[in-house]
Copies of this chain bind each other. A is one copy, B any other.
Amino acid sequence: MVARLLAPLAHGLPGALGLEDDAAVVSVPPGHDLVVTLDTLNDGVHFLFDGSSAQARDIAAKALAVNVSDLAAKGAVPHAYFLSLALPGGELPWLDSFVAGLAEAQAQFGMALSGGDTTRIGAGLSISITALGLVPAGGMVRRGGARSGDVLYVSGTIGDAVLGLELRREAAEAAALMEALSEAEVVQLLRRHLRPEPRLALASVLRQCQAAAMDVSDGLVIDLDRMCRASRTGARLMAAQVPHSAAASKVLSAGLVTRQRLMTGGDDYEILAAVPCPMTGRFEAGAAAAGIAVTAVGEMIAGGEVVVLDEALAPMTFVSRGFAHL
């Protein structure tokens, strides 16, 4: 049943062999490298599955999107993905919708299913995706390539997804947020949480500008920590320059959320990029041409320290710097 449902997702990709073989064959065009990333989402940890078809569709689309977000940050063009789907026992009336969510997402990202494994699991639902993308040989954008003096940029807006999560999760806080926001703003925040949109249009701009980059998945601050660790640099992040949506700015002004929370909530799937100074003009122009807002939020500095400064240029402190996987 699963094979029958999944096989259509492999259409148009000859190397997937109709999902009938033990393995897929991937031909990498001459002069290209393959970029490979893997992200896993588990019920009860990364999402709380209610068994509904609507949620199944969103979860599937998001599982692919978070992987494609990594590809975008690496400057890669999506090519194919492998799916490990560990399913609980019993009826799975939502499975068709899950597959529909994958179909929507892969069409949007220009990739196809190439293989995988479907297994039973004791409880819950676990989705692991290995995504493959292509870059010109030697062109993969690194997390560890930032240098002191680089300008730090972030795409889009930060903190919407964590507000979307709170709108769904916490009754008291959700009510206060609902009251402060318009209906359209609520829908927009929920969408940022449920259906992240990888910044694929920025991939080639990152490569051309020799940026170091990663996607913001666990929180802006913790992800910046990681970029600095990989690059053996420090960074100065100006909190007041971090871009927020009108909705997020509204609840921030109303005191319903802290700046810290917006910068550490994660699930943003925006791009964090360190761009060499001589390239910033080209980077901003490229992003504008790609239709993606980018905002300078700080700079890379010598040493290993990540300093976040508030509006008064005083160092901010954080209880948590972001989502920790374990």
Contact = CB atoms under 8 A, between A and B. Distances in A.
Number of copies: 2
Given A22-B215, A326-B2, A82 B120 contact: no
Given A2-B326, A86-B42, A214 B121 contact: no
Contacts of A46: 119
Nearest to A39: B117
A79 to B, nearest CB: 11
Chain A interface category by residue count: 35 or more
A190 interface: no
A25 B73 CA distance: 13
Interface in A32-52: 33-46
B326 A122 contact: no
Interface stretch (A123-131, A169-177, A295-303, A308-316): A123-131
A35 B23 CA distance: 6
B21 A84 contact: no
A82 to B, nearest CB: 5
Interface of A: 1-2, 17, 20-28, 30, 33-46, 70-71, 73-74, 76, 82-84, 86-87, 114-124, 126, 128, 130, 132-133, 135, 137, 140, 142-144, 214-215, 226, 229-230, 325-326
6 contacts: A2-B326, A38-B116, A39-B117, A40-B119, A42-B120, A44-B122
